[in-house]
Amino acid sequence: MWRPPAAVTKTFTLDVELACDFDLFGLVSSARDYSLAWALNQALRLRLRRQPDLLLPMPGREQLMFSHYLYATEVLTLRLFRNRSLVLSAFPKPFLAPDFKEYDYLLAVTNGGDELAGAALVARLAALTAVQHATQFDPSTLKYKENLIL
């Protein structure tokens, strides 16, 4: 007796490896975002400028919103992000990088060279009165690194 074949369901998984071509620094600071941006501008001779807030859609209707400052030249790019959402949220982890929720701000530096990279930059950031603590992270270890790739 002939029977029709059972329905076959195929699932495909897309594995994407995101390239993290920037250095990532965490900053502990009680300063407002514009005050910290100004302090960074003065200390590092930059011109960080406020950008439209970064919107991060979450499951359901909720969105998280993060302040975002940018300094970009032909070679160097710096982005300063507030790590905690600007809007109140019922979401359990309202952070841009939930892996580093103890840090108030994140600084992403692309092509920093010797002066704006590694331990040299950590020392310069920690010397600011607006910064209580600064450290460098490996962005490839972030669980939610796609939040920082623009």
pLDDT per residue over 138-148, tens digit each?
Answer: 887 777 767 77
Q: What type of residue is 61?
A: R
Q: Give me the pLDDT at residue 106, please.
A: 93
H helix or E strand, kind and range, residue 133? strand 133-137
Whether pLDDT at 31 is above 80: yes
Contact assessment for residue 76 and residue 113, using Cβ atoms and an 8 Å cutoff: yes
Domains, the chain: 22-148 (3.30.310)
Residue range 94-105: mean pLDDT, rounded: 89
Tell me the percentage of the chain whose pLDDT exceeds 90. 41
Helix (H, G, I), strand (E, B) or coil at 23: strand
Q: Which of 33-37, 54-58, 110-114 has the highest mean pLDDT?
A: 33-37
Structure tokens at 7: 């329905």
- Given a cut of 90, whether residue 38 has pLDDT beyond it is yes
pTM of the complete model beyond 0.95: no
- CA 130 to CA 37: how far, in whole Å? 10
Would you tell me how many other CB atoms lie within 10 Å of the CB of residue 8? 5
Find, among 21, 89, 99, the residue nearest to 55 by Cα.
89
pLDDT of residue 23: 86
Give phi and psi for 48, each to the nearest 5: -65, 130
For residues 111 and 99, the answer to whether their CB atoms sit within 8 Å is no
| Interatomic CA distance for residues 71 and 109, integer angstroms | 10
For 38-56, the DSSP string reads HHHHHHHT---EE-SPEEE
Residue 24 to residue 22: CA distance in whole angstroms: 6
Distance, CA of 103 to CA of 134 (rounded, Å): 9
39 has pLDDT over 90: yes
